Chains A and B, each alone.
Chain A
Amino acid sequence: MFLQETTANTDGYMIAGYVISFIVMALYVASIYLRSRNLNRDLTLLEEMDKPVAPVETSQPKPKKTAKPVTKRSGKK
């Protein structure tokens, strides 16, 4: 290589170098974004779970007042 008179054609190596650099950086940025998105989802879910539980209102109807059973009084006088 160093005894040659013309410049070596090494374009392919240069392109490979730049392509790999950009791919690695893009993958890292994507990994930060994806991890952040997943953590935000988890956080939302956990915050929902952590909310204080509101008192549960029962939907059952109140028991109707039933008429007292009529009892015959003993007629002691």
Chain B
Amino acid sequence: MQSKPVLLKILDVLAIILLGVSTYFALVVAPTELVMGNVQRVFYFHIGTAWTALIGFLFTAVLSVIYLVTKDLKWDRYQVAAIEVSLVFFFITIVLGSIWARPAWNTWWTWDPRLTTAAITELIYIAYFMLRQGIDDPDRRARFGAVYALIGGVSAPITFFAIRLFRTIHPVVISGANSEAQGGFDMTSGMLTAMFVALIAFTVIFIDLYWNRIRLGNLEDKVEQLKLKVTM
């Protein structure tokens, strides 16, 4: 068994600490929103996970290009790892958004442009894994995956800009003209601090999980190679 690098062990501990710190800032330091009450506190994790997931999806598009140029399967493993972690984070984003929407909009879900594009993005990357499952040849699987992720990468900026491009009820809290959209709110300095702490915390957690997932991918590859060697 390969032992973990010291830097990764430090990152593991740092990620746990930052998750705790971010939770503390969100639940204790940030003030209670006057209209919505405590449900507004899910916003910090919502934006933290959304930020990292969307960056992660864009990053996979870059990895796709690198794989298609180099044809090195290492980049395919990096891509799979990034998509998997982003998918988990984006799932949390969607669930938290839905929980917030229930008291704010009086519904768990509505086919608003932001919610629709977010759901489509999540489904695109779920389908990515289904596509890979159907292809046995590793090179072919990696090539198809890279092309798919490259095209799928377009969904990330569309999701991000959906609230700025289309008529929507989703609030644009950051640098938005319609912060007073249904459920929108202006952020105080305490809220801004909690938000930035969440952004930093989830970025570190993402990097930590990503590194761990890459190691898992490398291990999968090693086992696969050895299986082929033994059976030959």
The CA of A42 and the CA of B133, in the complex, are separated in Å by 20
Q: Which size bracket describes the interface of A in this complex? A: 20 to 34
User: B41 at interface (Cβ–Cβ under 8 A)?
Assistant: yes
Main secondary structure of the interface of B (DSSP, over half): helix
Instruction: List residues of chain B with CB under 8 Å of any chain A CB.
Output: 1, 19, 23, 27, 32-42, 45, 49, 85, 88, 91-92, 95-96, 99-100, 102-104, 106, 205, 209, 212-213, 215-216, 219-220, 222-223, 226-227, 229-230
27 A-B residue pairings within 8 Å (CB atoms): A1-B36, A1-B103, A1-B106, A7-B34, A8-B39, A10-B36, A10-B37, A10-B103, A13-B100, A17-B41, A17-B99, A17-B100, A18-B23, A18-B41, A18-B45, A20-B92, A21-B49, A24-B88, A25-B19, A32-B212, A32-B216, A35-B216, A36-B215, A39-B219, A39-B223, A40-B1, A50-B229
- Interface contacts (Cβ under 8 Å), in number, total 104
Determine the chain A residues whose CB is within 8 A of the CB of B39 once the complex forms: 8, 10-11, 13-14, 17
User: In the complex, are the beta carbons of A28 and B209 less than 8 A apart?
Assistant: yes
Q: How far is the CB of B142 from chain A (nearest CB, A)?
A: 19
> In the complex, what residue of chain B is closest to A50 when comparing beta carbons?
B230
Most chain B beta carbons < 10 A, residue from A10, A11, A24, A35: A10
User: In the complex, are the beta carbons of B226 and A13 less than 8 A apart?
Assistant: no
